[in-house]
Amino acid sequence: MTVTEAATGSTTTKGRPWASEALFRADPQLADLLAAEAERRAETIQLLAGENLTTPAVLAALTGPLIDKYAEGYPGRRHHTGCALADAAELLAVDRARGLFAAPHANVQPRSVTSAMLAAYAALLKPGDGVLAMSLEHGGHLSCGSRANFSGRWFTFTGYGVREGDGLIDLDQVRELARQHRPKAIVAGSISYPRHPDWAAFREIADEVDAYLIAAVAQTTGLVAAGVAPSPVPYADVTVAATHKLLRGPRGGLLLCTAELAERIDRAVFPFTQGGAAMNEVAGKAVALMEASTPAYRAYAEQTVSGARALSEGLAEAGMRPLTGGTDTHLVTADLSPLGVTGAEAERRCAAAGLLLGKCALPFDPAPPAEASGIRLGTGTVTSQGMGGAELSEIAGLVARVAAGGAVAPAAARVRELAGAFADRT
């Protein structure tokens, strides 16, 4: 696509604030990159689990005048002047978050999920304290004890995992490790586990050893919001959520907590780990939280799960092994070893056909992490585009065929056709 085509509004730029003439005039080089990215997006089927399409209303709020406002602190307690309307926007976001998740307290300022995790740890722990979390090998995020991340350097992590047989979280192991290590906090949540943690059981274990319970539900925040997943909020001391991913809002974190922890959580975000919040993101979060409270969003959330089940069944029919035998979320993590192909190779082959998914190291994976035996897929984006079970069954077939080494060209042609048919629907 050329600059002119993009500036005049093709199907891929329609309703997109970035496709304004100001950018194309001021910086055609960067504008062309964005236009090409829009085209890449329109020609591929996006199955990366953490991505989605930000809604048009959220995009509009993100580019609104609050983008320039400095508002360090919290509503009514700012370090800058002129914050009355920024305060009102933040209060709207906070009230909507509290209402949507039935949470006593919400903090909408974290710039990312990782910084929200940092703030959660900072509020509850001292350096050196013990934390029990899902091990990275079994699906824990970097912020759950990676040595390359602050978490693994500043706290002492112990990892629990899933059972080899059914792939489900081994609660007996969690209890045993909790008794043995007496952690100050237990984290439940993962980037690749396709089922919901048993929140009541985690609460019981945390209570037994007098630990805080942190629910890390960035992957499934939208499902919790829609009531399609069990809410951790009544059980967890702190819930760490994402406003992007399934919620389709701005990239960012959201912290929910008990009334007792409200003050500590707020201080852990600002001034302990962040400066001034991005008020345009706060405004965008307010919009996303409102949109997530609608029946239309609930239908979307339900469809991400039914689409993921169709995807999972299709992959299983083609010989892959979906972890835990299926999914209760938008996520499918599948073992490719029956096909004799690594996750890395499947990711490369599928990308060549326009099918974007991620290689994924599996629990008990015999392959090195860079190769990995699995792939991870999510239905957030394709469901936002309006694809349903029929399309996802077909996509499963395409993924399996290409991953196993089948011809790329015919699959790529079908991918472009499907992607084109749904490119305009966000």
Ligand X SMILES: *Cc1c(COP(=O)(O)O)cnc(C)c1O
Among 108, 218, 226, 412, binds ligand X (CB under 6 A): 218
CB-CB contact of 109 with 256 (8 Å): no
Nearer to ligand X, 216 or 320 (CB): 216
Q: How far apart are CA 215 and CA 223, in angstroms?
A: 14
Q: 115 or 383: whose CB is closer to ligand X?
A: 115
Nearer to ligand X, 240 or 353 (CB): 240
- Cα-Cα-Cα-Cα torsion 149, 154, 155, 157, nearest 10 degrees, comes to 30
Least distance between ligand X and beta carbon 50 (Å): 5
| Residue window 92-131: x/- pattern of binding to ligand X, with contact defined by CB under 6 A | --------------------xxx-----------------
Nearer to ligand X, 342 or 383 (CB): 383
d(CA 298, CA 223): 8
How near is the Cβ of 236 to ligand X at its closest, in Å?
13
CA distance 411 to 93: 43
String marking each residue 126-155 x if it binds ligand X according to CB under 6 A: ---------------x-x------------
C-beta of 218: minimal distance to ligand X in Å? 3
- Cα 154 from Cα 273, distance rounded (Å): 14
In angstroms, what is the minimal distance from the CB of 281 to ligand X? 12
The CB-of-99 to ligand X minimum distance in angstroms stands at 23
- The Cα 73–Cα 269 span in angstroms is 10
Site for ligand X in 253-292 (CB under 6 A): none
Closest Cα partner for 162 from 319, 361, 369? 361
Of the pair 242, 287, the CB lying nearest ligand X is at: 242
Are residues 382 and 45 in contact, defined by beta-carbon separation less than 8 angstroms? yes
Distance separating the N- and C-terminal Cα atoms of the chain = 20
User: CA of 359: how far to CAs of 47, 132, 346, 374, in Å?
Assistant: 11, 26, 7, 6
Q: How far is the CB of 135 from ligand X (least distance, A)?
A: 14
**Which x/- pattern, by CB under 6 A, does the window 10-49 give for ligand X?**
----------------------------------------
Site string for ligand X, 374-413 (x = CB under 6 A): ----------------------------------------
Touching ligand X, residues 175-214 (CB under 6 A) = 189, 191
Given candidates 219, 239, 342, 379, which one binds ligand X under the rule CB under 6 A?
219
Nearer to ligand X, 141 or 285 (CB): 141
Q: Where are the beta strands (DSSP E) in 36-75?
A: 45-46, 73-74
Residue 43: Cβ-neighbour burial (10 angstroms; 0-12, 13-18, 19+)? middle
Q: Rank residues 31 and 268 by Cβ distance to ligand X and give the closer one.
A: 268
Residue 118: phi and psi, rounded to 5, are -55, -45
Contact between 216 and ligand X by CB under 6 A: the answer reads yes
Number of H-type helices and E-type strands within the chain: 17, 15
Residue 312 in contact with ligand X, rule: CB under 6 A:
no
Shortest separation between residue 110's beta carbon and ligand X, angstroms: 8
* DSSP string of 90-155, one letter each residue: HHHHHHHHHHHHT-SEEE---SSHHHHHHHHHHHH--TT-EEEEE-GGGT--GGGT-TTSHHHHHS
Helix, strand, coil abundance in the chain, percent, nearest 5 = 50, 15, 40
Distance CA 99, CA 40 (A): 38
Work out how close the CB of 193 gets to ligand X at its nearest, in angstroms, rounded to a whole number.
9
Interacting positions 227-256 with ligand X (CB under 6 A): 242
Q: Which is nearer to ligand X, 24 or 157 (CB)?
A: 157
Task: Give the max Cα distance, the chain.
Answer: 65
Least separation in angstroms between CB 131 and ligand X: 14
Select the residue whose beta carbon is closest to ligand X and give its number. Answer: 113
Size of the site for ligand X (CB under 6 A): 12
Minimum distance, C-beta of residue 219 to ligand X, in the bound complex (Å): 4
Token pair belonging to 284: 């965008």
| Candidate list 23, 35, 46, 50; residue touching ligand X; CB under 6 A | 50
Least distance from ligand X to the Cβ atom of residue 251, Å = 6
- Both tokens of residue 199? 């929140």
Q: Name the nearest CA neighbour of 196 among 324, 364, 374.
A: 324
Binding site for ligand X (CB under 6 A): 50, 112-114, 141, 143, 189, 191, 216, 218-219, 242
